[in-house]
Structure 1
Amino acid sequence: MTLDFGRLGLGCAQLGNLYQAIDDDGAAATVEAAWAAGVRYFDTAPHYGLGLSERRLGAALHKHHRDEYVVSTKVGRLLVPNPSPTGHDEELFDVPDTYRRVWDFSADGVRRSLADSLERLGLDRVDLVLIHDPEGRADEALDTGYPALEQLRAEGVVRAIGVGSMDADVLTRFATGTDVDVIMTAGRYTLLEQPALDSLLPLCSRRGITVLNAAVFNGGLLAEDRPHRSLLYNYRNSPDAVLELASAIAALCERHGTTLPAAALHFAGGHPVISAVVAGAQGAEQSSRNAALAFGPPPPAALWADLKDNGLLRPDAPTPGDAA
């Protein structure tokens, strides 16, 4: 598998109206701002806004040559007509609930999900397909979902396959027991917490599995210079202890002449096994900002040492300064 993800990818949940609604023009501007900054990898899923993210991403990329970018989508949730709509999606997406999500990791479900995604995207192919959030259904995903993806890869329908989850243990099961090309860890190797450092990342290094590090702002808490209670942590309200930790890290960042988002982005890509950081953006301005921070100079090495000395970062966590 040879896919060039670059250093930074755009996570496209916000194109599906995550947290708040944006219009089609705003979604297109978010993608175009990332493109203008050099981003060429875009990650989406049927789950994101009940297909809205895929439709908007495909429309935004339509003017660019297909060979110039990499797209990933996901399988595991089929979208089917909702017989009893209430008017609004029950998830975190501000969209009408004319469709509903149905968990399906069967071989037929995987193929149908990919076909539906291609139709929404308006593309003849995606480069990477990920099993999405298999925690709680790991046996089914391993027994039927993964073999279906393996067959699609063997047929040349997709170039690479993998799994994405917020559960490091589930990701470790896939990295151990399958021949996935890619692991996408979501929120499990961030400036706030690093459970993927225990087993998952060393295992991927030994097995030569590409690692994409997503949700590096932990759902929003690390996305602003100064954390506050209205920012979510892993898509829920931030517990007091987590908010205090984020605030302490932010204070040290400010002391060292940098910002919390800059440190979060650079730390997330600082482990040698991580190929790319995948960050969402709430609009074009944040899309441009994230790229400028990720592609810009890293925070000073003294910041990482100070974080470790103050017990705010694991002492065994690799940092950009170590790599230099």
Structure 2
Amino acid sequence: MLDVTRYGLGCAPIGNLFTALTDETARAAVDAAWETGIRLYDTAPHYGLGLSERRIGEALRHRPRSEFTLSTKVGRLLVPADGTGRDDQGFDIPATHTRVWDFSADGVRRSLTESLERLGLDSIDVALIHDPDHHWKEAIGEAFPALAELRAQGVIKSVGVGMNQWPMLADFVRETDVDTIMLAGRYTLLDQSAAAELLPLCLERGVSVVAAGVFNSGILATHDLKGTYNYVPASPELLDRVRRLAHICEEHGVTLPQAALAFPLRHPAISSVVMGMRSADEVRQNMALAASSIPEALWDDLAEVEHD
């Protein structure tokens, strides 16, 4: 099982996800994460066309290497472009590169080499196959064997897969010896679709699960029904369900984000929850919520909404 802290920092926001950050703001977020006990940091070439990797590498370079776990991803190579215009995939950055899908063995090795250059570090702990939804054959036939070979050579410590869906993750767990998976948005207060099949399978196979997207893109990040659900506006039916969840939380003196952070870790398959955070204040607020106690009775009451 992956030995990581219960909470990790998701580094898409410091790659200028949706809005730009200064280097100083990004660095302060990483420093606050360290100060509050976070030792798992997850990034990817996709996040800001390498900006996230450069920023997290710079922030961690002076930290003791044995004291943190760093994961990055493979599957998208960054190819230089003319640099005109802005990135069209949600990051507020100049379009200096284009992303090219590549799950080949050579592509995986090239991706990790380039990630290490951007990070300025001497090693990556976890390499995750990133979003292989439409690339199953190449991902399992080339990307995974290449990463397994690097693991056997001691170049990386762990191999995994990160996705926003659970059925293909279950296929990887069945058909390979992945060490870990990153499950985004499919085991939350609002969506427990991974619970029946994937999570028991991971327990059986000894595969660690890192839960991401536990706020389902924002609707669970506040207690006042703001934000989107899976990056689109929430339906009236879903908003009504969230309203009922919030009311039950209030009855127990708990907020929705507090419950959303704690919920996944109640499952024995989940080793860590990764949160995307963009400022030192956001880090401190979330980690304060994570440290707050929650009455056990809350979970039974919330489960009644799930079964309504």
Equivalent residues in 2 for 1:21-170, closer than 5 Å: 21-83=20-82, 85-170=83-168
Whole-angstrom CA distance in 1 between matches of 2:20 and 2:205: 41
Identify the match of residue 300 of structure 1 among 281, 295, 298.
295
Whole-angstrom CA distance in 2 between matches of 1:43 and 1:97: 23
> 1:47-90: CA deviations, max 9, x gaps?
1111111111011112211111110000000011124x541111
Q: Tell me whether 1:246 sits opposite 2:242 in the alignment.
A: yes
**CA 63–314 in structure 1, closer or farther in 2 if over 3 Å, else same:** farther
**CA 247–20 in structure 1, closer or farther in 2 if over 3 Å, else same:** farther
Q: Tell me whether 1:255 sits opposite 2:251 in the alignment.
A: yes
Whole-angstrom CA distance in 2 between matches of 1:136 and 1:14: 25
Q: Quote how far apart the aligned CAs of 1:314 are.
A: 5.1
> 1:5-45: CA deviations, max 9, x gaps?
11111111101111211111110111111111111110001
> 1:262-299: CA deviations, max 9, x gaps?
000000211011111111113111111222222332x2
SS of 1:211's partner is strand
Identity %: 53
Equivalent residues in 2 for 1:153-302, closer than 5 Å: 153-228=151-226, 231-297=227-293, 299-302=294-297
Match of 1:313 in 2: 306
Q: Quote how far apart the aligned CAs of 1:172 are.
A: 0.5
* 111-120 or 241-250, larger mean C-alpha shift: 241-250
Instruction: Give the unaligned 5+ runs of structure 1.
Output: 316-324
Amino acid aligned to 1:202: P
Q: Quote how far apart the aligned CAs of 1:302 are.
A: 2.0
Q: Quote how far apart the aligned CAs of 1:313 are.
A: 2.5
Amino acid aligned to 2:256: L
Match of 1:322 in 2: none
Whole-angstrom CA distance in 2 between matches of 1:89 and 1:115: 23
Contact 1:190–1:264 (8 Å) recurs in 2: yes
SS of 2:266's partner is coil
Q: Quote how far apart the aligned CAs of 1:238 are.
A: 2.8
Amino acid aligned to 1:307: L
Whole-angstrom CA distance in 2 between matches of 1:233 and 1:110: 32
Q: Quote how far apart the aligned CAs of 1:215 are.
A: 1.1
Contact 2:2–2:271 (8 Å) recurs in 1: no
Q: Quote how far apart the aligned CAs of 1:4 are.
A: 2.5
SS of 1:269's partner is helix
SS of 1:131's partner is strand
Whole-angstrom CA distance in 2 between matches of 1:126 and 1:45: 11
Scaled by the length of structure 1, the TM-score of the pair is 0.92
Instruction: Give the unaligned 5+ runs of structure 2.
Output: none
Whole-angstrom CA distance in 2 between matches of 1:106 and 1:265: 36
SS of 2:217's partner is helix
Whole-angstrom CA distance in 1 between matches of 2:6 and 2:241: 27
Contact 1:42–1:70 (8 Å) recurs in 2: yes
Contact 1:76–1:104 (8 Å) recurs in 2: yes
> Please, what is the CA RMSD of the aligned residues?
1.4
SS of 2:194's partner is helix
> 1:237-277: CA deviations, max 9, x gaps?
33333333223212221222111110000002110111111
Whole-angstrom CA distance in 2 between matches of 1:314 and 1:80: 48
